[in-house]
Chain A
Amino acid sequence: MRESRLKLTIIYIVLIIAGVIALFPLYWVITTSLKQRVDVFKMPPVWFFKPTFENYRLVLTSRFPGYFLNSLIISVGTLILSLLIGVPTAYGLAKLKIKKKKDILFFILSTRMAPPAVFIIPFYFLWSRLHLIDTYIALVIMYQLFTVSFIVWMMTSFFEEIPREIDEAAWIDGCSKWECFFKVALPSAYGGLVATMILTVLLTWNEFFYALILTAFKTKTMPVALPGYIGFVRMRWGELSAAATIVVIPVLIFALIVQKNLVRGLVGSSVKG
């Protein structure tokens, strides 16, 4: 389709306005994190200022690095466990002879629909009876609730894209199904696997509801710690912005790298993005 120059200009203007609205809050957080305390609350707002890392120094010398570590341990732990459970399941559903495949896939997708409000009370009760409140393991298991189904949906669509000839060649070579899985399927779906891993970390890294209820002093994650900067007396907005930037930026960069797979992961292969 050839577009007229005027039409293209209008499209650009609309999209750029939308882009500014989409980016503004994040831009504001990042710039605020680099402002001195006097500039943070100035009205009218200060657009140009001399950047300072004072807020980052305050955050990094507080308890925050501990929360960062907690988030990291929980995300990586969740990722490893859910890959072990989810990737073989995805391979089975994509490539092997399983009865009622469609029903199983639909069941797995439908578990993503259920509101967390249903699960939190039984699990709260279970974890407190096992004395596992405020432990890494409780949250890692809890998170399998959404990461396993996420990984199954995403990896199923990647495994399905592997051409049949590759599978058949491997079978003729006489390798067992698990050997085929490790030696042929996994390397062929490598790109998809990396994208899946990044987006799985994104999900757990950002999770708040379960972490709020199931963690306390020892295992508090960063999202749970953030609202703590809003005190009764004063709002430590500069420090909060620095902490928020630390939470958001690493996963944002990785997620944008694999953005093409975002839709596939969130709604499954019913729509390919």
Chain B
Amino acid sequence: MFFISKWIKKFASSDYSFILAGLIALLALVVYPTIYALQLSLKKWNLTESTKQEFVGLSNYINILLDERFINALTRTLIFVLVGAALSLVLGFILAFLLNRDFPGKGIIRACLIVPMIVTPVVVGLVWRFMYNAELGMINYFLELLGFEPFAFLGNMNTVLPAIIITDVWQYTPFVMLILLAGLESLSPVPFEAAKIDGANRWQTFRYLTLPLMKGPILVAVLFRIMLSFSAFDTIFVMTGGGPGRASETLMMYVYRLGFEHWHMGKASAVGIIMLFILIIISKSLINFANSNQ
């Protein structure tokens, strides 16, 4: 006992006593469940039939990869994420560029622009659902003023995905804008003055100076923007629930339906693990791409 208390005392005054709780918490909450999910993904386990878990090897993965529903959800998710991220990057860059100067009212405009990323995502989904409504929605009201016919954007197989992409872009463009603005504000003015003296035009300055110097912030913005949309659930859940049919069923919706509507726990875990892999591949290749262009 004496040794233990002495050891505890020694530990309590060491540098590592500060980070112990944090590391344990993250190992217990992140690493352990990931391993557990990996293990579950190798089992057949349907909560509605029995509590028995049966080891089935990789058959969950094989079934998923051969399942058209999964392939469709994957394609949909990639379109949702990549189109949304590209639009956010362009719009976010324009807004950041315009905000990167001093003018009266800048603080207020900046505050207004970041409201979408702070509003509770469920509320975002509910409001947009109402705004897209064919008879009562504001979007259709404005379109009708412009002479278009009212249209149920969320009720149509072809327009539901673009509609949720627009909501997603509305929600997360401020996030991209803030990162890029922080990047632009931290750029040194020296090379830009030199470019001006050398007679570079605006496009040349942007293409050969701003873009390369902004590579870091752009990478961070795109990476986090992709991550946010890849796991987007709240807005889609309340706007469409994955429908009509499965027209807006992303991977997150697919996992939710598989796990908590059909109670296929093993299979849902396998989809979760596949999602993790895809995210790792996307982020690795983005980082490699950024490093290779130096």
Contacts and interface: CB of A to CB of B under 8 A. Distances in A.
Interface in A60-89: 84-86, 88-89
Given A44-B141, A244-B127, A271-B220, A121 B112 contact: no
B123 interface: yes
A25 B26 contact: no
A118 B278 CA distance: 12
A6 interface: no
A85 B22 contact: yes
A148 B22 contact: yes
B197 interface: no
A196 to B, nearest CB: 14
A122 B40 contact: yes
A11 B103 CA distance: 10
Given A15-B95, A271-B182, A114 B127 contact: no
A190 interface: no
A266 interface: yes
A186 interface: no
Interface stretch (B55-63, B203-211, B229-237): B229-237
A88 B22 contact: yes
Interface string A21-44: 111111011000000000001011
B21 A209 contact: no
Interface string B60-91: 00000000000000000000000000000000
B93 to A, nearest CB: 13
Contacts of A115: 230-231, 251-252, 272, 275-276, 279
A23 B112 contact: yes
B116 A22 contact: yes
Interface string A95-134: 0111000001001100111111111111111000000000
Given A41-B136, A43-B136, A266-B175, A88 B18 contact: yes
Contacts of A4: none
7 contacts: A88-B21, A89-B18, A120-B255, A121-B268, A141-B29, A208-B122, A256-B118
Interface of A: 1, 3, 8, 11-12, 14-16, 18-19, 21-26, 28-29, 41, 43-45, 84-86, 88-93, 96-98, 104, 107-108, 111-125, 141-142, 144-145, 148-149, 152, 176-178, 181, 202, 205-206, 208-209, 212-213, 223-224, 226-227, 230, 235, 237, 240, 244, 247-248, 251-252, 255-256, 259, 262-263, 266-267, 270-273
Interface of B: 12-13, 15-19, 21-23, 25-26, 29-30, 32-34, 36-37, 40, 94-95, 98-99, 101, 103, 105, 109-124, 126-128, 130-131, 135-136, 138, 141, 170, 174-175, 178-179, 181-183, 186, 216-217, 220, 224, 227, 230-231, 233-234, 237-238, 251-252, 255-256, 259-260, 265, 268-269, 271-273, 275-276, 279, 283
